[in-house]
């Protein structure tokens, strides 16, 4: 029974991880069609992806404490249910506003799903198998990334962008049913704690202002928003150290492995999250391909990640996770250096080589980095650790998309993205790749910080 329960836990985590990423990647291919239907300019259409990432970043830390207090399985059921209802709403959306509202609720559902799924795997699976289980879960992320471009490109090209949302609905229903019927146990680690409402507000408002301002740094209001957001986040950190039941236990950052691995995760996603959008824009606007052809090309990186993730997970049970993570980020840096020269004349084989290197690098990095974060905290802090690594991922992704929005707005103003502006799209993409290369180098060093500290990994829970 215990073995069956563990199996279903990992399978459910795989399903939820898969479809959260499936839509996140697929929506990129659907953005041109959505923007065309609703008449969006380049700044507004970039917010189709950025908005959901921002909402995930806002709700990730609260999801850690809430799932720990009320149970990670219960939180996962609620998160997936919200995700499900929002996906149905997206299918029925009739305007820009209704669609973006659904994207907000999708972000809320994904935030709770991400945190609860990882926390449930860590608490349900034995320490000696944790890296393998996390590797399987992360494989769901990369497998979704590899299948989504093909499936989503096909769906968008042949049936319209709404077909992507219809596709995920039955699988989310299956996920809820499996949790209710096949996973009898509940995991609560903060049952006696109080909900830190003030902490949630400080963090939510702070991170929202910071990221919104970050994407609008060219105007005075954006700059002021960044400053106010940073101040609120600093106040949040200080406040969390002073109260008995914080929304997030800031003392975890006293652990050097935990801190350095989280910083590495933040930098890695900041460096690579916008690459799918850049390549999609390159294929559709610069080379003139349709969504289906672009999707077939975009399969290269994630399918390699899907192959690498479970193997790197097994390795991280035997080899120091931070060493593997640093190697992975070094390989990813090489891929970014190649893409600095991305233009209409770059041979396709060179683009494919860069995508392969990115897949190998991130496949080596992500699972060991997650194992390092989750295995460096006490058992009762796994929801917080899961929330931290999820927050680093979503904040990094959101800021990466923010850099994309900022650079495109700086170079193109509020022009609509069309093939006639291919030269400016190339210029913006190259500048973004230069910025991301520098960030990726920082991630390499962050992966190695604290590697000699005395706290152990894969501690028995």
Q: Do 142 and 273 fall into the same domain?
A: yes
* Under 8 Å between Cβ of 390 and 114: yes
Q: How far is residue 4's CA from residue 2's CA, in Å, rounded to a whole number?
A: 5
Compute the mean pLDDT over every residue in the chain, rounded to the nearest whole number: 82
What is the pLDDT at residue 284?
Answer: 87
Q: Based on the domain organization, do 228 and 363 belong to the same domain?
A: no
Task: For residue 106, tell me if it sits in a domain.
Answer: yes
Cα–Cα nearest to 81, from 185, 160, 2, 169? 169
Residues 226 and 262 in one domain: no
Query: Residue 177: which CATH number?
Result: 1.20.1250.20
Using 50, 70 and 90 to split pLDDT, how confident is the model at 451? Answer: low
Domain that holds residue 145: 2-183+247-448
Closest CA to 63 of 373, 394, 375, 383: 383
Q: Pick the range with the lowest mean pLDDT from 22-26, 96-100, 291-295, 305-309.
A: 305-309
Model confidence at 98: pLDDT above 70 = yes
> How confident is the model at residue 377, as a pLDDT?
77
Q: Are residues 338 and 268 in the same domain?
A: yes
Q: Which residue would you say has higher pLDDT here, 112 or 418?
A: 112
pLDDT tens for residues 180-217? 887 777 766 666 677 778 888 898 899 889 888 887 77
**Domain shared by 347 and 377, yes or no:** yes
Q: How confident is the model at residue 235 (pLDDT cuts 50, 70, 90)?
A: very high
| Residue 99 shares a structural domain with residue 209 | no
Both 10 and 82 in one domain: the answer is: yes
Dist. CA 285–CA 187, nearest whole Å:
48
What is the arithmetic mean of pLDDT over 58-62? 81
pLDDT band at 452 (very low <50, low <70, confident <90, very high): low
Band (2; pLDDT cuts 50, 70, 90): very low
- pLDDT beyond 80 at 236: yes
- Residues sharing a CB contact under 8 Å with residue 292, sequence separation 6 or more, in sequence order: 153, 154, 156, 157, 158
Looking at the 3D structure of the chain, how many domains does it have?
2
Under the banding of pLDDT at 50, 70 and 90, the label for residue 427 is very high
The answer on 204 and 131 residing in a single domain is: no
Residue 292 lies inside a defined structural domain of this protein? yes
Of 231, 246, 261, at which residue does a domain stop? Answer: 246
pLDDT at 433: 93
Residue 274 vs residue 25, higher pLDDT: 274
Q: Clarify whether residues 175 and 311 are in a common domain.
A: yes
The three-state secondary structure class of 452 is coil
Q: Give the Cα separation of 431 and 138 in Å (integer).
A: 30
| pLDDT above 90 (res 396) | no
The conformational region for residue 39 under phi > 0 = left, psi -120 to 50 = alpha, else beta, is left
- Same domain? For 167 and 213 the reply is no
pLDDT tens digits, one per residue of 135-179: 777 777 767 766 777 788 888 888 888 998 999 899 899 888 888
Judgement on whether residues 321 and 418 belong to the same structural domain of the protein: yes
94/228 same-domain check = no
């Amino acid at each position: 029974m215990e073995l069956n329960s563990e199996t279903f836990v990992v399978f459910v985590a795989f399903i939820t991880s898969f479809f959260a990423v499936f839509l996140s990647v697929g929506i990129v291919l659907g953005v041109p069609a959505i923007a065309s239907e609703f008449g969006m300019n380049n700044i507004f259409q970039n917010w189709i992806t950025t908005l959901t990432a921002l909402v995930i970043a806002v709700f990730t830390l609260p999801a850690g404490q809430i799932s720990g207090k009320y149970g990670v399985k219960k939180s996962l059921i609620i998160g997936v249910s919200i995700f499900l209802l929002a996906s149905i709403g997206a299918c029925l959306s009739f305007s820009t506003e209704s669609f973006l509202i659904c994207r907000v609720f999708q972000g809320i559902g994904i935030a709770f799903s991400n945190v609860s799924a990882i926390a449930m795997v860590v608490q349900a699976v034995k320490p000696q198998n944790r890296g393998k289980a996390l590797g399987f879960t992360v494989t769901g992320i990369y497998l979704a990334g590899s299948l989504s471009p093909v499936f989503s490109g096909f769906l968008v090209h042949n049936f319209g962008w709404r077909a992507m949302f219809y596709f995920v609905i039955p699988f989310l229903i299956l996920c809820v049913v499996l949790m209710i019927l096949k996973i009898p146990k509940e995991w609560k680690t903060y049952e006696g704690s109080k909900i830190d409402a003030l902490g949630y507000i400080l963090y939510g408002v702070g991170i929202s202002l910071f990221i919104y301002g970050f994407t609008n740094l060219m105007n005075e209001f954006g700059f002021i928003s960044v400053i106010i957001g940073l101040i609120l986040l600093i106040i949040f950190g200080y406040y969390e150290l002073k109260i008995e039941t914080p929304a997030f236990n800031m003392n975890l950052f006293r652990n050097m492995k935990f801190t350095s691995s989280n910083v590495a995760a933040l930098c890695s996603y900041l460096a690579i999250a916008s690459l799918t959008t850049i390549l999609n824009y390159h294929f559709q606007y610069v080379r003139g391909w349709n969504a289906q052809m672009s999707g077939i090309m975009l399969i290269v990186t994630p399918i390699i990640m899907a192959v690498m993730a479970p193997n790197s997970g097994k390795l991280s049970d035997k080899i120091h996770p931070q060493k593997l993570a640093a190697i992975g980020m070094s390989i990813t840096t090489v891929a970014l250096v190649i893409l600095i020269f991305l233009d209409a004349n770059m041979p396709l084989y060179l683009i494919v080589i860069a995508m392969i290197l990115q897949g190998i690098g991130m496949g080596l990095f992500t699972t060991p980095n997650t194992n390092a974060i989750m295995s460096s905290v006490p058992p009762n802090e796994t929801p917080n650790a899961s929330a931290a690594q999820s927050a680093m991922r979503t904040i990094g992704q959101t800021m990466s998309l923010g850099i994309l929005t900022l650079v495109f707005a700086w170079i193109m103003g509020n022009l609509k993205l069309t093939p006639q502006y291919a030269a400016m799209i190339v210029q913006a993409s190259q500048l973004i790749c230069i910025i991301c290369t520098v960030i990726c180098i920082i991630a390499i060093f962050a992966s190695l910080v604290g590697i000699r500290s005395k706290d152990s990994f894969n501690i028995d829970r």
